[in-house]
């Protein structure tokens, strides 16, 4: 019933064409990448060994349709980037980035079941896309404990955490930038805690047209 209600709400707001495009991209990309990432997961149903379990949100994959729109609209390049997905879930954005030429893709996930699915998806992805040489690294960890790799140039978040953890993430980003100065971009979907990023980073774009969730793009330069 929940999914039917969700589809009906989106239909009323955006129309049937948006729904058709959305489902087409969902099926097309999961098939093309050789992975399975569509089904949502509630956090309470997952095994999480972390004091921050209550600070997380349910697993909900980023829409392929929206991802395509984002990279077209904001002219962000994935090719040769080192991307970091904080709260990577089943790994969708990692494999999407690898497919589009990322040099390295790092995902952090603290739910054991989602981590296992992401690792399985990695095997399937590499078996189907044998020419892709992206270094894909999926780490089972709480994001607050992860020291951000000095090579990371693009950080992706789909509102995976509440305020307390978001504050710690920003602290970790700033620590990494202080130790290893470089330019980075941050893609923040459904940015419920954007006010925290506003205090530390430069807002490049905030946009909602063509999307059913807001998006904010940040940089440190």
What is the residue-level pLDDT of the chain in tens, covering all 221 positions? Answer: 445 555 555 555 556 776 777 788 999 999 999 999 987 555 455 555 555 445 455 557 888 988 998 898 888 999 999 999 999 999 999 999 999 999 999 999 988 889 999 999 999 999 999 999 999 999 999 999 999 999 999 999 997 688 889 999 999 999 999 999 999 999 999 898 999 999 999 999 876 655 567 899 999 98
| pLDDT recorded at residue 149 | 95
For the packed helices 92-99 and 16-33, what is the interaxial angle rounded to 10 degrees? 80
Q: Which helix (H) or strand (E) holds 135?
A: strand 135-140
Residues facing residue 59 across a β-bridge: 41
- Strand ranges in 4-114 using DSSP code E only, listed in sequence order: 82-86, 104-109
Residue whose tokens read 């049937």: 16
Q: Measure Cα distances from 78 to 56, 82, 138 in Å.
A: 27, 8, 18
| pLDDT recorded at residue 111 | 87
Where are the chain's structural domains? 2-219
Query: Which of 122, 132, 75 has the alpha carbon at shortest distance from 100?
Result: 132
Q: Does domain 2-219 have CATH number 3.40.640.10?
A: no
| pLDDT recorded at residue 53 | 47
d(C-alpha 129, C-alpha 126), whole Å: 5
| pLDDT recorded at residue 60 | 76
| pLDDT recorded at residue 74 | 86
| pLDDT recorded at residue 55 | 47
d(C-alpha 60, C-alpha 49), whole Å: 20
Supply φ then ψ for residue 189, to 5 degrees: -90, 145
In this structure, what DSSP letter does residue 43 have? G
d(C-alpha 22, C-alpha 125), whole Å: 21
Other CB atoms within 10 A of residue 192 CB:
14
* Burial group, residue 119, by CB count within 10 angstroms (0-12, 13-18, 19+): middle
| pLDDT recorded at residue 39 | 77
């Amino acid at each position: 019933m929940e999914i039917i209600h969700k589809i009906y709400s989106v239909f009323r707001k955006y129309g049937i064409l948006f729904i058709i495009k959305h489902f087409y991209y969902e099926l097309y990309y999961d098939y093309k990448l050789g992975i399975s990432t569509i089904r949502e997961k509630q956090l309470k149903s997952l095994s999480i060994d972390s004091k921050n379990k209550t600070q997380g949100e349910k697993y909900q994959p980023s829409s392929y349709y929206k991802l395509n729109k984002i990279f077209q609209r904001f002219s962000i390049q994935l090719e040769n980037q080192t991307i970091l997905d904080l709260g990577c879930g089943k790994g969708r954005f990692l494999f999407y980035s690898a497919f589009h030429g990322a040099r390295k893709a790092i995902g952090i996930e603290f739910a054991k079941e989602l981590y296992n699915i992401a690792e399985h998806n990695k095997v399937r992805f590499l078996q189907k896309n044998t020419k892709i040489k992206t270094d894909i690294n999926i780490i089972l960890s709480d994001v607050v404990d992860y020291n951000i790799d000095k090579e990371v140039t693009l950080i992706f978040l789909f509102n995976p955490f509440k305020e307390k953890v978001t504050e710690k993430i920003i602290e970790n980003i700033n620590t990494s930038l202080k130790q290893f100065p470089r330019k980075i971009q941050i893609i923040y979907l459904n940015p419920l805690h954007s006010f925290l990023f506003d205090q530390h980073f430069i807002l490049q774009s905030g946009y909602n047209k063509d999307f059913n969730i807001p998006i904010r793009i940040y940089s440190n330069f």
